């Protein structure tokens, strides 16, 4: 998706980024290593390095500091190549792996064979801010779930029990009067925290809905699909970014790790689990949407019929495969809607298949 055309380089700098220390390796246009050392992973140190070597090609792996260093480098006119660490086994599987060797290898590949680094394109900063908000919400949800589990386990430890099925959103209100007297005062701080988290999550949900409508109106097109609300639609837009960067809607499935692994050799072609490459958060949201689509209250659609047909094979394994398959088709469908803005027809394929062959 991101091509690098050859050009005359003054030099190439490989950066093995660390949270505190970065190893660098500098190569001149002839391929000779002219410098290697460690610097602190700070804005000041990076600015000094980048200003020393104008017009260089900067090569680094995708990691936490990558975004701000990428922005610094591009502001100064440097070319930047960001390697996909999941797709560069020559680095991750190196038996002589070290910061120094990694920096050297990044620089050497970036100078001679940048395509071997499977370069990635960072999404725009505006989308990254949205994703930070969504990740913050996810962290609050996980914390609330953990606290609810803790309360239940403590009640069980004294021989008590709490009714199952109580949603985390109303957990504190429903459970408070049911606590054993011996634990009521001890667990009260947990319940207050759970309630506070619920209030904060509700506020974030309202903010996400408002932001979707105000700043990302394209999310409304995605919400035509049953099971896709403001949260999932905003997360999808922020994850995909510009839909035009995908040549084919079907390539979104592999991008999000929703396609099976492949290990074919001769007549052997075993059925393997999905790759789980790409964005874990977005993948989990799509699977969650697929679960709703296939659930008892799911609206009739091509997606639902497709998944139910897989589930007819029976067993939990079939249910799991159906969820993944529907999530993959949903990812493709959402990209198509995002790209075209067309009206969603839930039973488009089914309606076409039932038409009379000679119908006008």
Cα maximum dimension of the chain:
78
Total number of residues shown for the chain: 360
The span from the CA of 197 to the CA of 205, in Å, is 12
Give yes or no for residue 151 having a pLDDT over 70: yes
Question: In this prediction, what percent of the chain has a pLDDT beyond 70?
Answer: 88
Mind giving me the DSSP string for 148-167?
Answer: HHHHHHHHHHTT----TT--
pLDDT band of residue 165 (cuts 50, 70, 90) is: confident
Give residues with Cβ within 8 angstroms of 188, minimum separation 6. Answer: 176
Q: Running DSSP on this structure, what letter comes out for residue 258?
A: -
Give yes or no for residue 261 having a pLDDT over 70: no
Of 36-45, 119-128, 132-141, 203-212, least confident by mean pLDDT is 119-128
104 vs 358: which has the higher pLDDT:
104
Q: What is the mean pLDDT of residues 328-350?
A: 94
The span from the CA of 224 to the CA of 211, in Å, is 18
Give pLDDT, residue 9: 58
DSSP, collapsed to helix, strand or coil, labels residue 252 as: helix
268-302: per-residue pLDDT in tens?
Answer: 444 456 677 778 999 999 999 999 999 999 999 99
Cα within 13 Å of Cα(263), Cβ side: 7
Mean pLDDT of the chain: 89
Question: In this prediction, what percent of the chain has a pLDDT beyond 90?
Answer: 75
Check: CB of residue 302 under 8 Å from CB of residue 309.
Answer: no
Give residues with Cβ within 8 angstroms of 264, minimum separation 6. Answer: none
Give pLDDT, residue 359: 41
161 vs 95: which has the higher pLDDT:
161
Mind giving me the DSSP string for 168-180?
Answer: GGGHHHHHGGGS-
Closest CA to 147 of 188, 111, 178, 116: 188
Q: What is the mean pLDDT of residues 51-55?
A: 95
224-243: per-residue pLDDT in tens?
Answer: 999 999 999 999 999 998 89
Of 3-7, 70-74, 126-130, least confident by mean pLDDT is 3-7
Give yes or no for residue 352 having a pLDDT over 80: no
Locate the DSSP E strands across the chain: 12-16, 21-27, 33-40, 57-61, 79-83
Give pLDDT, residue 269: 41
pLDDT band of residue 314 (cuts 50, 70, 90) is: confident
Residue 301's Cα: distance from chain center in Å? 26
Q: Provide the whole-model pTM.
A: 0.81
Give pLDDT, residue 98: 86
Beta-bridge mates of residue 274: 260
Give yes or no for residue 90 having a pLDDT over 70: no
If residue 192 lies in a helix (H) or strand (E), which one and from where to where? helix 181-215
């Amino acid at each position: 998706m991101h091509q690098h055309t050859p050009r005359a380089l003054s030099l190439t700098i490989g950066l093995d980024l660390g949270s505190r220390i970065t190893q660098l390796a500098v190569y001149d246009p002839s391929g000779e290593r002219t410098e290697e050392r460690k610097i602190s992973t700070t804005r000041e140190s990076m600015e000094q390095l980048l200003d020393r070597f104008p017009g260089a090609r900067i090569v680094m792996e995708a990691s936490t500091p990558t975004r701000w260093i990428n922005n610094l480098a591009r502001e100064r006119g440097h070319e930047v190549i960001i390697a996909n660490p999941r797709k560069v086994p020559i680095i991750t599987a190196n038996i002589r792996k070290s910061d120094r060797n990694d920096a050297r290898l990044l620089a050497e590949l970036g100078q001679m064979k940048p395509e071997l680094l499977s370069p990635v394109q960072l999404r725009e900063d505006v989308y990254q801010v949205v994703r930070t908000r969504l990740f913050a919400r996810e962290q609050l949800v996980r914390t609330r779930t953990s606290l609810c589990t803790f309360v239940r386990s403590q009640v069980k430890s004294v021989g008590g029990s709490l009714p199952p099925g109580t949603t985390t959103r109303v957990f504190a209100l429903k459970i408070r009067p049911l606590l054993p007297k011996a634990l009521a005062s001890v667990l009260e701080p947990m319940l207050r925290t759970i309630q506070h988290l619920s209030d904060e999550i509700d506020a974030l949900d309202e903010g996400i809905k408002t932001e979707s409508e105000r700043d990302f109106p394209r999310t409304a097109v995605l919400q035509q699909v049953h099971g896709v609300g403001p949260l999932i639609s905003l997360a999808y837009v922020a994850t995909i970014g510009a839909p035009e960067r995908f040549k084919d809607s079907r390539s979104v499935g592999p991008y999000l790790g929703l396609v099976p692994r492949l290990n074919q050799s001769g007549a052997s072609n075993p059925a393997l689990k999905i790759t789980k490459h790409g964005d874990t958060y977005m993948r989990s949201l799509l699977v969650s949407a697929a679960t709703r689509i296939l659930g008892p209250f799911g609206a009739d659609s091509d997606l639902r019929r497709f998944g139910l047909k897989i589930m007819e094979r029976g067993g939990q394994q079939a249910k799991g495969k159906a969820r993944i398959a529907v999530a993959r088709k949903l990812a493709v469908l959402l990209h198509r809607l995002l790209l075209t803005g067309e009206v969603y027809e839930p039973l488009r394929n089914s309606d076409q298949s039932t038409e009379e062959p000679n119908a006008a």
